[in-house]
A = this chain, B = another copy of it.
Amino acid sequence: MGAIREQKKKITKKAILNAAIQLFGEKGFENTSIEQIAKTAGVGKGTVYSYFTTKRDILYAFCEGELEYIHEQMASKTNQNAPILEQMLTIFMAEFQYITKNPEFGRLFIREMAFPNPTFLDDHQDNDKKYFEMIFPIIIRAQERGEIRSELEPLHVCGHFFALFLLLLHANYTKMIPFEEAEKTLRTLFSQVIDGLQPAGSGDACKGVTHG
């Protein structure tokens, strides 16, 4: 029933991925050739292309797997009744740490994730769906607790946080803010936006408290 084939394919794919990760780590993405990956994995160049459509796809496959793992970790560890600010900070800072751990990887990955090539749109739709499944419950619970106005679209609320996450990465890659200030900055921006989303009369803004 094709069991041998399945087994072999898994092993080969893993071997290629491992070889790629190792070489990318050693020499960087741009300085690693497909032929080197193939040789290291003990297969022919053509075989690499029967498992991955492009060189970037190899990188992307790895990153996606890792991110999914991180998301699961976060989702299970986060205190579901903590303020939305803390929950969002935990999730997005974990993702930020992961992406910037290897700046070169991270840049390519976030470029592809934020502004994808139409060819890979389908992959992203899957990815985005998992993303929403993690974020939406947090927003809905915050709405139930009265932290966020309940008539707001969860999609829009989610958008605000994701937007600031993109901004943080932009600020990081343009060296506009030093790495160490990332969390502090994100906290400030998240607080400010939550002020605009909370119910009438309950916000810092309405008490005239500063955020800077």
Contact = CB atoms under 8 A, between A and B. Distances in A.
A192 B151 contact: no
Nearest to A206: B206
Contacts of A210: 149, 151-152
Contacts of A153: 212
Interface size class of A (residues with CB under 8 A): 35 or more
Number of copies: 2
Interface stretch (A55-63, A75-83, A115-123): A115-123
Interface of A: 103, 107, 110-111, 114-118, 121, 124-125, 128, 149, 151-153, 156, 159-160, 162-164, 166-167, 169-171, 173-176, 188-189, 192-201, 203, 205-208, 210-212
| Dominant SS among interface residues on chain A | helix
Contacts of A173: 114-116
A196 B151 CA distance: 16
B206 A174 contact: no
Given A110-B115, A111-B114, A163-B166, 19 more contacts: A103-B118, A107-B115, A115-B173, A116-B174, A128-B174, A152-B210, A152-B211, A153-B212, A159-B167, A159-B189, A163-B163, A163-B189, A166-B166, A192-B196, A194-B196, A195-B197, A195-B205, A199-B208, A200-B205
